[in-house]
A = this chain, B = another copy of it.
Amino acid sequence: MNNTLQTIFNHRSIRKFTKEKLTTEQIYTIVRGAQKASTSNYMMAYTIIGIDDEETKEKLATITGQTYVKDNGHFFIFCADLHRVYNQASKTVQEKMQVNMENTEQFIVATVDTALAAQNAAIAAESIGLGVCFIGSIRNDIKRVDEILQLPQYVIPLFGLAVGYPDQKPEQKPRLPLDVVYHENKYDHNLEQIKRLISEFDQQIRSYYQKRSTNTRTNTWTEQMIRKYCEEVRMDITQFVKDKGYNKH
């Protein structure tokens, strides 16, 4: 297995970092790595905001409920951004652009561009000995994050990425069986087979949770997923995204 595959296959989320801060060189390597990702129609429809201001980190940690949002080597927030392109146009041209900007197509473009860049950032960071953790919980109070970062129209804070030197060695979390996730030529509607594979995975996960060194628990993947989807979560996101100018018609 080559070094790149080793980096990819060795991934685990790190939730405890040493106090050591990233150097500017490390930050730039990560950001430049992110920029190398493919981008839809060359739009590069994202902005990455690096947070090292302690007060801002404190606020974000409160919103997310995760201490490693402030206790890390550097914190990045990945934002979908079509404001940059919009802003290059005159008022008259902006009016013409409006109908596209408001189409869900452009929300897909910006979200996918941002995530491709972010995964490159994660791999780049891990390749130089750093650990990472994606932070979706900045969406716990997306309006507040929007205010803190002073984001203009057409810019949405999608997720954070905490980066730093690992101060823990967590087990690697299993993944769904390949045959559940990978289908051939069309969607696999063999529900019996899929359910059987997921059921085997559920047993594996129950045993993983019981054996792991921290935060042991007893439920299965299916139980976890169903519980999560039965609790209403972040119900303000649909309206927030619309208010930002996306997904409107």
Contacts and interface: CB of A to CB of B under 8 A. Distances in A.
Contacts of A233: 100, 103, 105
Contact of A124 (B8, B118, B247): B8
A112 B159 CA distance: 9
- Interface size class of chain A, counting residues whose CB lies under 8 Å from the partner chain: 35 or more
Contacts of A52: 184-185
Contacts of A229: 85-86, 89, 96-97, 100-101
Contact of A127 (B2, B36, B89, B93): B2
A116 interface: yes
Interface stretch (A65-73, A144-152, A163-171): A144-152
Number of copies: 2
A36 B11 contact: yes
A29 interface: yes
Given A104-B237, A181-B48, A186 B5 contact: no
Contact of A99 (B128, B134, B155, B232): B232
